[in-house]
Amino acid sequence: MDGAKRELMVVVLRYVTASANAKIEIHEQPVYLFDALRAVTSAVEETTSGEVRLTGANIAALLTDRCQELGLDLSKCVGQGYDGASNLSSAAVGAAAVFQKGAPLATYYAHV
């Protein structure tokens, strides 16, 4: 949460490239910064009349949508990491578990 009480979320892609001389480079590139609660509210307001919450399922749906907008192949996603909040990291209903259903190789790595 930022100073204005917005639930900001940043999506960062980490990937590896190899140059012609076999030099391996690791890259991190932020690709989205958005107000997660506002995005979830926009996405589900037509289907619910109750309180909108940042559940693991809602966050995973946002992440999946953003990845699809970028044209990413989720079958090639091999990892995901979050700050450890339960709605992100819960093995049963967290965003990591839900996102992994669509990206089976995307193992969750806890932030330490």
* 20: Cα within 13 Å, side-chain hemisphere: 0
Asked if the model's pLDDT at residue 48 lies above 70, the reply is: no
Amino acid at 18: A
Nearest to 56 by CA among 111, 19, 108: 108
HSE (CB half, 13 Å, CA atoms) of 77?
Answer: 24
pTM over 0.75: yes
Rg over alpha carbons for the chain, rounded to the nearest Å, is 15
Tens digits of per-residue pLDDT, 59-92? 999 999 999 999 999 999 999 988 777 788 888 8
